Each structure stands twice: as structure tokens, then as C-alpha cells.
Amino acid sequence: MSVQDKAKVPQVATIRIVPRTVVALGFVSLFMDISSEITHSLLPVFLVTVLGAGAFSVGFIEGIAEATSQVAKLFSGAISDWIGKRKLLVLLGYGIAALTKPLFPLASSIGVVLVARFVDRIGKGIRGAPRDALIGDITAVELRGTAFGLRQAMDTVVAFLGPLLAMVLMVASSDNFRLVFWIAVVPAIISVLLIFYGVQEPDTQPRTELRPFPIQRSELRRLDLAYWVLVGIATILTLGRFSEAFLLLAAEHVGLAIALIPGVLVTMNIVYAASAYPFGRLSDAVSRRMLLALGAIFLIAADIVLAMAGTPSLIFVGVILWGLHMGATQGLLSTLVVDAAPADLRGTALGMYNLIIGIALLLASVLAGWLWTALGPAATFLAGLLSSGSPWSEWCPGSRTSSFAICSNAAVDMPSDPLPASLESGSTVRVLTPGELLFRQGDPAAAIYKVESGRLRLIRRTVDDHLVILHTARRGEFFAEASLFADAYHCDAVAAAASSVRVYPKQMVMEAMRTAQALAEAFMARLARQLQELRARMELRNIRSALPSSPLGAPRHGCRGQLRRVDA
């Protein structure tokens, strides 16, 4: 999608046209996180003062809980791809978490809290990847940034509202931990009810056979280089933004009053929550690649300010920049992961991404802790600066045909999808092995296609028996649109690599265009742009053909039966 095309989106990309299920999922997260934040903000103190636990027990419980959550995300995402259903796993994850909430007020020993926290984090891990994959399934590509920004904002607003509610409830109940824990059960129940009545799966054709389980080499190969480069970039950014606990330590180091130190996280989360949705909308209007770079700049600036900070005011400047980084990148990275993955591997891709980022955050925090102890705060934030400021040019070589597809417009700024998301229910996905034919020149024109992963070559055999590569269609591109107005395909379509192609039946698309004027106009505009590009290519080819032949007198055209490339 070009910047010019995307510039029109903000006029309509408002919360009112975000799918109802996305809004419902936002409220599901909001209510469950209210319950969790009230409980978890009081849990360490409850363990120490009521149950008599030591600091080691608190750290052990938290470490086990978070590690379990990251592993569960990978497998739940893969299972949602395998069975082709997301809502069931979302309900299971939130349901498990809700069932653990009464265990906290009933706990009479550390063991009960450990079990409750462990199972609660399993529930969080189960729901995460299927929830985000469901958002990707039901949201059109030009609205995904808005959708993920909204979900991220509703997630984050609770990070400061939850502890504030916990403080109010503790004061109102005269420090009655168990009563406050019982009150926290109520929003968890509301969250589960919202899934039952507000969350809907997209309409899809039932599968006739069970597909292979996604966590195996043959399936993971379908996650192409664009996906892995994106994960690499996200990992580097994560290594530069270790745990927010170090923001609190930095505030304490410059002499901020102990009573005001919690205000550091409150400030960061307010900025994060306030900026996530606007940045999400912006990502639907401008280059997502450039917005990701802007997010990295915010982190670089935050690390510089925090490394040099000698006063509380500078700490808060760094914290605000940190919050802007989180708002600009966290929802955007989920959007890019969904864009980069085949539709039937979105859950697996999100689960793998979350697992790798979780490990990177753990390593970054351990390294930051060592640097803080050995060299002090400045060295810690300067190390984050070195990571977040890694040369982006290495990831974006600038060539339009670079194998680093994440840096190309085709990968990050997906071509504007001229077909509404509702047509996906009538489409199918075909998986091709390298060299496999999708259709042959002269076959009856039955469908148009969209590359979801891999790439396909459109090849025509000329009258003098030359094979000419007309175009190479890559991830996110439509092809064979001309077949809507022809009886037969004018070329062969051959998989140049392991590929996944979405098939839109011709009659279904034609009927949709007859009933929707906006769709027909968007499709005509797309074809007009392609015609302009084709004319530019032909002009370039004519200029080249007018040049003198090479000094060695080599022929310009391929030998008989060999391939010639005419695409740009």
C-alpha cells in the first residue's frame, strides 16, 4: 500500500468501524486485567505479611509463573491453527484464569498461592496468541494497526488503574486482603461472560481433513524470511528495553522520594495507554516500517536521557519517552507479525514471537542487573542504547528486490486489499510445493489469487518457444485479476518456493463487485495503477533495447526454451 493510498484511511479508520469482536476482546482483556492487577499488586505483601513467605519464595513464584506463560503461548497458538478455531482457546485461557481468582482469598499457605499463580499464568499463556490471531483473522489489513492499537491501549490502561483501585479498596476495607481479593473475582467473571456473548469467530468453510500440527519443520518453513527478520528486529529492540523495574531503580538512584517512586510506572503506563491507539491508527495511514523506526528512536532517546539523568525531572522525561516507545511499537509489532504470517499459521507465528521476545526480555533484564551492580545506572542504559540503536540499514538494504522482505513495501506496507474481509469466508487456501503448477496457460479462468506466503512466477511460452517470466508475485500480492474478464488464463502460474495461496472464486468476486460500488471502484483503481506500472516497464525495456549491443556481441534474447525475465 503506498503512502498516497494509505493517507485516505484515517478519515474512516475510527473505533466505530473496528469489528465488534475486536472491541469485545478489548473489554475482555480490560476486565480480566483489572482483576489480575488488583490481586498481583497486593500479592507480594500478602505473601510476606499474612502467610509469612520470604523474598526467595516471592521471586520463585513469580519466575515460575512467567516462564510457564511464555511456553503456553507457543503451543496454544499452534493448536488454534491446527484446529482452525480461536474462540475456544481464548475462552479456555480466560476461563482458567477466572477459576484461579477465588484461590487467592482462600489461600492459607504458600503452596496454594503457588498453584493459583501457576495456573493463572497458564491461562494467560493459552489465551494470548489465539486472541491476537483472531484479531488478525477478522480485521481487514488496512485496519489492523487500529485494531491492535485499541487492544493494546485497553490492556495498558489497567496497568495504572488496577494498582490505584487496589489502594482505594485496601483503604476502604481497613487493609482486609482477603475481602479485596474476593472483590477482584467479579471483573474476572464479567470477562468470561463477554467472551460468551460478544466474541465471534469469522465465518469460514469447515475443514474436510485435519492439517499437520504446525510445530514441525515442514510447517515452520512456511514462515518466510520476512517473518524471521521481523522477529530479529523485535528481539534487538527488546534487548534494549529491559524490565521497567530499572526505571524505578533509576528514580531511587537520583533521590526521588520513596512515596513518589510508584508514580514512575504510573506515568509510563499513562503515556503508553494514551499513545497506543493513536499510533495504531497512524500505522494504517503511513509506512509501518518508518513508524517502527520512530519507535526505536523514542527508545534510543529514552536510554540517552536516563543514562545522563541526575535529577528526578530528567528521569520523568526518560520515562515519558519510554512510554512513547511502547505505545508506538508493541501493537505495531503484533500487526506486522500477523501481516507476515500465512493466515493459517498466525497463531503459531504469534506464539513463536512471544516466546522469543519473552526469552530476550529475561536475558536483557539479567544483563541489566549485572551491569547495574558492576558499573552503575549509566552503563545499564548505555548498553540498552547500543542494542536499540543497531544499524537499521543492515536490515533494510534499500533494494526493492532484497531478500529482506520486511524492509520492502510488499512486506510491511501490504498492498491495499481490494476485497472485503467478508469474502474470505468463501475463499480457500492452497499450499504449493516448489515447481508445482497453480494453473496453466489456456486453463478456464476460475479464480483470482493472493499470495499468503512464498512467491509464484507468472510464465508465458512464446510462439518461438521462449519461456518469459512476466512477473513474480510475492506475499500480499494479488494476481490473475484479468481472468475476471477473460475465459482462460493467459500464462502459467508456478510456485518458485514453498507457497500458500488464497483462492477467490471468480463468480463470488464478480457478484460482490456488482453489489458494492466502492469495491468495484477500488478494484478498477488497482488495475489502473498496474497498467501504469506496466507502461513504465515497457518504456524502460524500449530504452534498453535501443542501446548498442554488448562489446562481445552477445545476443539480447534467451536461447530457445530458456527463461527470459521481463518484469521490473
Q: What is the pLDDT of residues 400-438, one digit of tens each?
A: 333 333 333 333 333 445 555 556 667 888 888 888 889
pLDDT exceeds 70 at position 385: yes
CB contact at 8 A, 411 and 405: yes
pLDDT score, position 195: 92
Instruction: Count the neighbouring beta carbons within 10 Å of the beta carbon of residue 286.
Output: 17
Same structural domain, 178 and 39: yes
Query: Which of 394, 413, 432 lies at the terminal end of a domain, its last residue?
Result: 413
Residue 317: band (very low, low, confident or very high) from pLDDT cuts 50, 70, 90: very high
pLDDT exceeds 50 at position 100: yes
pTM of the model: 0.62
Average pLDDT, the chain: 76
Measured between alpha carbons, how far is residue 562 from residues 233, 400, 460, 477 in Å? Answer: 39, 25, 12, 26
The strands making up 447-453's β-sheet, listed across from edge to edge, are: 428-432, 499-505, 447-453, 478-479
Q: How far apart are CA 17 and CA 12, in angstroms?
A: 8
pLDDT exceeds 70 at position 382: yes
Please indicate, yes or no, if residue 45 is contained in any of the structural domains: yes
pLDDT score, position 177: 83
Same structural domain, 78 and 121: yes
- For residue 490, count CB atoms less than 10 angstroms from its CB and return exposed for 0-12, middle for 13-18, buried for 19 or more: middle
Measured between alpha carbons, how far is residue 140 from residues 19, 148, 284, 310, 406 in Å? Answer: 9, 12, 11, 47, 19
Q: Per mean pLDDT, which range of 80-94, 161-175, 366-380, 546-560 is the poorest? A: 546-560
pLDDT score, position 472: 81
Q: Cell for 517? A: 460500488
Tens digits of per-residue pLDDT, 163-195? 788 888 888 888 888 898 899 999 999 999 999
Same structural domain, 441 and 552: yes
Percent of the chain clearing pLDDT 90 (strictly above)? 7
pLDDT score, position 190: 94
Same structural domain, 383 and 260: yes
Please indicate, yes or no, if residue 205 is contained in any of the structural domains: no
pLDDT score, position 182: 92
Q: Per mean pLDDT, which range of 11-15, 19-23, 208-212, 285-289 is the poorest? A: 11-15
Same structural domain, 457 and 371: no
Same structural domain, 232 and 178: no
Residue 321: band (very low, low, confident or very high) from pLDDT cuts 50, 70, 90: very high
Q: Per mean pLDDT, which range of 137-146, 314-323, 382-391, 471-480 is the poorest? A: 382-391
Query: Which of 413, 434, 451 lies at the terminal end of a domain, its last residue?
Result: 413
Q: Output 511 or 44, whichever has higher pLDDT.
A: 511
Instruction: Give the pLDDT mean for 454-481.
Output: 77
pLDDT score, position 465: 60
- Helices 245-253 and 377-388: crossing angle in degrees, nearest 10, is 140
pLDDT score, position 62: 54
| Domain CATH code at residue 90 | 1.20.1250.20
Q: Cell for 175? A: 487493609
Q: Give the per-residue SS3 of 304-361.
A: HHHHHCCCHHHHHHHHHHHHHHHHHHHHHHHHHHHHHCCHHHHHHHHHHHHHHHHHHH
pLDDT exceeds 60 at position 242: yes
Please indicate, yes or no, if residue 214 is contained in any of the structural domains: no
pLDDT exceeds 90 at position 547: no
Instruction: Give the pLDDT mean for 260-275.
Output: 84
Instruction: Give the pLDDT mean for 336-346.
Output: 84
Same structural domain, 354 and 244: yes
Same structural domain, 484 and 393: no
Tens digits of per-residue pLDDT, 124-156? 888 888 888 888 888 877 788 888 888 888 888
Please indicate, yes or no, if residue 407 is contained in any of the structural domains: yes
Residue 533: band (very low, low, confident or very high) from pLDDT cuts 50, 70, 90: low
Q: Per mean pLDDT, which range of 143-152, 373-382, 462-471 is the poorest? A: 462-471
pLDDT score, position 104: 87
Instruction: Give the pLDDT mean for 488-495.
Output: 86
pLDDT exceeds 60 at position 52: yes
Number of domains in the chain: 3
Q: How far apart are CA 81 and CA 130, in angstroms?
A: 8
First to last CA, the chain: 18
Please indicate, yes or no, if residue 212 is contained in any of the structural domains: no
Provide the domain limits for residue 314: 220-413
Instruction: Give the pLDDT mean for 556-562.
Output: 40
Please indicate, yes or no, if residue 487 is contained in any of the structural domains: yes
Same structural domain, 407 and 428: no
Q: Per mean pLDDT, which range of 38-52, 103-117, 253-267 is the poorest? A: 38-52
pLDDT score, position 550: 41
Same structural domain, 43 and 59: yes
Q: Output 368 or 97, whichever has higher pLDDT.
A: 97
Please indicate, yes or no, if residue 211 is contained in any of the structural domains: no
* Phi–psi pair at 447, nearest 5 degrees: -165, 165
Beta strands at 499-505 and 447-453: parallel, antiparallel or unpaired: antiparallel
Query: Which of 390, 413, 436 lies at the terminal end of a domain, its last residue?
Result: 413
Task: Pick from 100-109, 320-329, 438-447 the range whose average pLDDT is largest.
Answer: 320-329
| Domain CATH code at residue 495 | 2.60.120.10
Please indicate, yes or no, if residue 70 is contained in any of the structural domains: yes
79 Cβ contact list (under 8 Å, min separation 6)? 89, 347
Q: Which of 101, 90, 86, 85 is nearest to 34 (CA)?
A: 101
Same structural domain, 459 and 330: no
Tens digits of per-residue pLDDT, 342-361? 878 888 888 888 888 888 87
pLDDT exceeds 80 at position 466: no
**Residue appearing with cell numbers 513495501:** 409
Q: Output 502 or 64, whichever has higher pLDDT.
A: 502
Same structural domain, 491 and 391: no
